[in-house]
Amino acid sequence: MESVTHAVSPAMLPQAVPVADFQWELADTFTLYFFTDGEFEFEPGQMAMIALAGVGEVPISISSNPDERDHIALTIRAIGFVTKALSRLRPGDVVGLRGPYGTSWPLESAIDRDLVIVAGGIGLAPLRSVIYRALNSRGSFGNLVLLYGARDPTSLLYERELHDWRGRFDMEVEITVDRGGPEWMGDVGLVTHLVDRAQFNAEDAIALVCGPEIMMHFVGEALTRRGSRSENVYFTMERNMKCGIGLCGHCQLGPEFVCKDGPVFPLTRIGPLMGVKEL
């Protein structure tokens, strides 16, 4: 079975890998699966660069279980030229993969503390890998809380996993949508409201946040209001990325290269940078 091998120098050269499986998750969001035979080990929060020869290349956070080393999964939203082309791939089609790149979620710093995961929209994708990792060693952490906000019930990503996680006794899962519709029996409202109410020790907890930048900003405020310290709150940032390896310059946010100094940053570092218009 063809699979990924380690990217060889030069660092911009992709490895040709066939798509193993393709699944639609939502109307505009899909997941590609690749067999990797243990040759593409990654830490939760890291990303891969996926290339369609002649079309383009995009960075995508890896959202599969990092401890299932035989495969990786990339959940992608089809909204632009390259991602729409990727959405037309089917098993057997060949793409180029490079990676993993970037910093990862600091799970070790959450040992013996409460772990709060706050996701907005497709932001659940970069967090799914760290949820898997945390559940794999559940005993290492205190309370495990997932707070997830989406646009509406049809936009809830990974519904099957959400149901599984809600069914666990050792994990608190709260879901809210911006607009519910007549069929929706769950919460309606902003995800920050879930932060206000969730059960965790704010002074001590580690919070991992992913979603639109404005949403992350307000979640950070809500956490701070509850007593969280900025050094314990982590965001994953996004900027225009072309190379993913700190050479092309595009992804700079102030002095930080999002691709190599990030994409995961503590709020202490990223908060002041996020506050500057057009930085």
Partner 1 sequence: MSTPQSLVNQLAQVEFFAGMALPELELLARHAHAADHDTDEYLLQRGRPASGFYLITSGRVSLELDAPRGRLAVQTLGAGDVLGISWLIPPHTWQFSARAVKPVSTIFFDTAEIRQRAERDVVLHDDLMTRFMQLMAKRLHATRIQLLDLYQPPAYQGGEQWSP
Partner 2 sequence: MPYIIDAAGLADLLAVLAENHRLIGPRAEDGVIRYAPITSIEDLPAGWTDEHGGGHYRLQPRSDQAYFGYVNGPDSAKTYLFPARAPMWTYTDGNFVAAPDKGAPTAIVGLRACDLAAIAIQDEVLLNGPYPDSHYAGQRSEFFVVAVNCTTYGATCFCTSMGTGPRAESGFDLGLTEVLSEDDHFFLVEVGTDAGRELLAALEPAEATSAQCSAGDDAVDATARGITKALDTTDITAFLASNLEHPRWSDVAGRCLACTNCTAVCPTCFCTTPVDTSSFDGTATRERIWDSCFSLEYSFMGGHPVRQSGAGRYRQWMTHKLGTWIEQFGTSGCVGCGRCITWCPVGIDITEEMAAMRAGAGVT
Confirm or reject binding of residue 6 to partner 2 (CB under 8 A).
no
248's tokens: 């092309």
Confirm or reject binding of residue 53 to partner 1 (CB under 8 A).
no
Confirm or reject binding of residue 64 to partner 1 (CB under 8 A).
no
Task: Work out how close the CB of 82 gets to partner 1 at its nearest, in angstroms, rounded to a whole number.
Answer: 5
Task: Work out how close the CB of 212 gets to partner 1 at its nearest, in angstroms, rounded to a whole number.
Answer: 4
Nearer to partner 2, 162 or 273 (CB): 273
Nearer to partner 2, 99 or 220 (CB): 99
Do residues 55 and 23 lie in contact, with contact meaning Cβ atoms separated by under 8 Å?
A: no
Q: What is the 3-state secondary structure (H, E, C) of 84-114?
A: HHHCCCCCCCEEEEEEEECCCCCHHHHCCCC
Do residues 191 and 148 lie in contact, with contact meaning Cβ atoms separated by under 8 Å?
A: yes
Q: Count residues contacting partner 1 (CB under 8 A)? A: 40
Confirm or reject binding of residue 13 to partner 2 (CB under 8 A).
yes
Whole-number Å distance between alpha carbons of 32 and 75? 6
Task: Work out how close the CB of 256 gets to partner 1 at its nearest, in angstroms, rounded to a whole number.
Answer: 20
Point out which span in 13-21, 27-35, 59-67, 114-122 binds partner 2 (CB under 8 A).
Answer: 13-21
The one of partner 1, partner 2, none whose footprint includes residue 88, by CB under 5 to 8 A per kind, is none
User: Amino acid identity of 1?
Assistant: M
- Rounded to 5 degrees, what are φ and ψ at 141? -120, 165
Whole-number Å distance between alpha carbons of 222 and 143? 18
Of 181, 184, 61, nearest to 119 by C-alpha is: 61
Do residues 235 and 253 lie in contact, with contact meaning Cβ atoms separated by under 8 Å?
A: no
Question: Given strand 264-266, what is the order of strands in its sheet?
Answer: 187-188, 172-177, 144-150, 115-120, 206-210, 233-236, 264-266
Confirm or reject binding of residue 188 to partner 1 (CB under 8 A).
yes
Task: Work out how close the CB of 241 gets to partner 2 at its nearest, in angstroms, rounded to a whole number.
Answer: 9
Nearer to partner 2, 167 or 249 (CB): 249
Site for partner 2 in 217-246 (CB under 8 A): 238-240, 242-243, 245-246
Confirm or reject binding of residue 214 to partner 2 (CB under 8 A).
no
Site for partner 2 in 92-121 (CB under 8 A): 94, 96
Point out which span in 30-38, 161-169, 208-216, 253-261 binds partner 1 (CB under 8 A).
Answer: 208-216
Nearer to partner 1, 88 or 151 (CB): 151
Nearer to partner 1, 168 or 179 (CB): 179
DSSP state of 138: G
Rg of the chain (C-alpha set)? 18
Provide the residue count of the chain: 279
Tell me which of 111, 214, 247, 279 binds partner 1, using CB under 8 A: 214
Q: Map residue 148 onto helix, strand or coil.
A: strand
Binding site for partner 1 (CB under 8 A): 56-59, 77, 79-83, 120-122, 149-151, 155, 176, 178-190, 192-193, 196-197, 211-212, 214-215, 218
